[in-house]
Structure 1
Amino acid sequence: MMLGFYVWGGFQKTNDMTTVDESGSTSIDEPVLRSTIDQMPVEVLSDAEKAGILYMREEEKLAHDVYLTLYEQWNLPIFNNIARSEQTHTDAVKTLIDKYGLVDPATATIGSFSNPELQALYENLVNDGSISLQDALNVGAAVEEIDILDLQEYLAETDNEDITLVYENLMKGSRNHLRAFVSTLERQGYDYTPQYLSQEEFDAIVSSPLERGRS
């Protein structure tokens, strides 16, 4: 767990590039982010940093594609709203790909991934989410848990200012989206048990207020 993200009374405020609506959908202002990143130094990337950027580009696309697919089936606004936010998240990672001249693994096709692990995960999540509305919302929460854990891992592997900026903003979005899915489950009368996060970390997130964006 990245203890650096916790401070007394809640979560540490990042160099905030986000806007947050009342439901918790958290979008990243890509033009502002790109301008900020372009002013930061170009640093040498380790193999782990390159792999992390490419993986997160497709993992954020996976969230977008899963939610859009589930919205088409269940017509619940949270899926469409957060899918739009996730598009800004995958675009945010693209700013790093562009800055460092990496080959973009993402395609424009919904449900298509270069990474076979993410391809299989997408198919499993969509299948699980097609069973019932509760299962679909559980899938949404699970995706955000996975995002949080992966971002924690990749943050621990970088000391680059620009990568850290992007990942911290993605983490804020994932925490807010986890709160949104769990809140929607509760309004539907369903309990949710974390599938990937520890109970302690899950409770710390969902019991804290929605993290607001730029004013």
Structure 2
Amino acid sequence: MSDINITASGTSCSNLNSTPVTVPLTEDEADALIFMREEEKLARDIYLALSDKWGVPIFANIAASEQRHMDAVGCMISRYQLVDPITDDTPGIFNNEVLAALYPALLSQGLESYEQALQVGATIEDLDINDLNKELASAQHTEVIATFENLARGSRNHLRSFVGELEKLGANYTPQYISSEEFEAIISSPMETGTAGGKGQGHGHG
């Protein structure tokens, strides 16, 4: 399998696209790629807005990682000739109705306070991990599995970062999507390295 080359400067699809497609995607895999493309956009859009509001590195750093995640899924969408759901890259614009409704609700919460902004970040990563877990459970295609595993690794790192910042404030995060057991296993383990792992660490507020 050819890898997607994801670096700090962006994503190159050249390696992936240099090899022919030999195994078609299932309908579920195609739907999953389309959904994850916009879910990564949701994260990026909110983190960029929260970065503007609170001016702390964690949001800008993780927003850049989410852009790389978007690009990685975009490579897969292009490779398998799917219709890209992002026809308008304006922040807050989504084709998926669920994500379109989540955006204003999460953004409003995140603008209330720095602590609430971190809670929103943890919530988004919690949701992302849960959705990726579901997609990985049914995915069959090697390239789809590799892409989603890379995204999940990044989301686990982002969750660790947000929870770490909350702990500095004396606050906690209660998982809403993944199990308490999975949550504890993630935050009690060290940052993971690897393609698209995006640690996204930043300093505290102030």
Give yes or no for TM over 0.5. Answer: yes
Aligned to 1:42, what secondary structure does the other structure show? coil
User: How much has 1:42 moved relative to structure 2?
Assistant: 3.5
Aligned to 1:55, what secondary structure does the other structure show? helix
Where in structure 1 are there 5+ consecutive unaligned residues?
1-14, 20-26
Aligned partner letter, 1:168 = E
Q: Which residue of structure 1 aligns with residue 202 of structure 2?
A: none
Q: Which residue of structure 2 aligns with residue 122 of structure 1?
A: 103
Aligned partner letter, 2:151 = L
Q: Check 1:63–1:183 CA distance in 2 against 1; reply closer, same or farther (3 A cut).
A: same
> Which structure would you say has the larger RCO, counting Cα contacts within 8 Å and 6 or more residues apart?
1
CA offsets 1:182-205 (integer angstroms, 9 cap, x no match): 011112222222222211000000
Q: Distance in 1 between matches of 2:82 and 2:144?
A: 14
Q: Distance in 2 between matches of 1:38 and 1:151?
A: 26
User: How much has 1:76 moved relative to structure 2?
Assistant: 1.6
1:89 and 2:69 are equivalent in the alignment: yes
Aligned partner letter, 1:60 = E
Aligned partner letter, 1:170 = L
CA offsets 1:19-75 (integer angstroms, 9 cap, x no match): 7xxxxxxx69622x6514643743222221111110000000110001001111111
Q: Identity over the aligned pairs, expressed in percent?
A: 46
Q: Which residue of structure 1 aligns with residue 78 of structure 2?
A: 98
Aligned partner letter, 1:139 = V
User: How much has 1:18 moved relative to structure 2?
Assistant: 6.2
Q: Check 1:34–1:204 CA distance in 2 against 1; reply closer, same or farther (3 A cut).
A: farther
Q: Which residue of structure 1 aligns with residue 19 of structure 2?
A: 39
1:194 and 2:172 are equivalent in the alignment: no
Give matches, 1:1-215, under 5 Å. Answer: 30-31=11-12, 34-36=14-16, 38-39=18-19, 41-106=21-86, 107-213=88-194
Asked whether the 8 Å contact 2:51–2:60 carries over to 1, the reply is yes
Q: Check 1:28–1:200 CA distance in 2 against 1; reply closer, same or farther (3 A cut).
A: farther
Superposition RMSD in Å: 2.1
Q: Distance in 1 between matches of 2:189 and 2:9?
A: 21
Q: Check 1:18–1:28 CA distance in 2 against 1; reply closer, same or farther (3 A cut).
A: farther
Count of residue pairs brought into register by the alignment: 192
Q: Distance in 1 between matches of 2:136 and 2:163?
A: 25
Asked whether the 8 Å contact 1:70–1:79 carries over to 2, the reply is yes
User: How much has 1:127 moved relative to structure 2?
Assistant: 1.1
Q: TM-score, normalised by structure 2?
A: 0.86
Aligned partner letter, 1:187 = K
Aligned to 2:161, what secondary structure does the other structure show? helix
Asked whether the 8 Å contact 1:54–1:105 carries over to 2, the reply is yes
CA offsets 1:157-215 (integer angstroms, 9 cap, x no match): 2110111111010010000000010011112222222222211000000000101236x
Q: TM-score, normalised by structure 1?
A: 0.82
